[in-house]
Amino acid sequence: MTATDPERLRVLETIIGPETLEDIQRLLDDLWSACDIPELVQIHTDLAAGEIGANIVEHAANGSPVRLRMEVQMSSEALRIHFTDDGRPAPVDLSRVTMPAAMSERGRGLAIAIRVLDQLSYQRDSEGNHWTLVHRLDS
């Protein structure tokens, strides 16, 4: 199988709404049922994708509908997720993300995602926000 085989590629295109996080998890569950992926990679990926998805849902809205595209691609080396949305820019510098104080009620999502992934990146261009999550399959 190549990385472009339907068994190894999943795409979600939606307008952000109340079911968006459930749609993200359903897409991942579909991939988990079709491919042999280590359980720890699944757990880490579910956690990181859920956190990034939740940030997009919460912060990208700009008073109008926000389009979201999630592309999940698995190769023999890694699982890659690319989120693109056309919402507001994310005011984030991933190099400065740290775990908040123990009593903080918010602010752990990006720190957790960085911890469980091999790579997390963000960039903004004319198409919108781009989040890339990478989990190597050998780690």
Delimit the domains of the chain by residue range.
6-136
Question: How do the pLDDT tens digits run along the chain, 139 residues long?
Answer: 233 455 688 999 999 999 999 999 999 999 999 988 999 999 999 999 999 999 999 888 877 899 999 999 999 899 999 999 999 998 877 777 665 555 555 556 788 898 999 999 999 999 999 999 999 998 5
Neighbours of 90 (CB within 10 A): 20
Q: Tell me the pTM.
A: 0.86
Q: d(Cα 124, Cα 33) in Å, to the nearest integer?
A: 33
| Domain spanning 6-136, CATH architecture | 2-Layer Sandwich (3.30)
Instruction: Give pLDDT, residue 33.
Output: 92
Beta carbons of 89 and 29 less than 8 angstroms apart = no
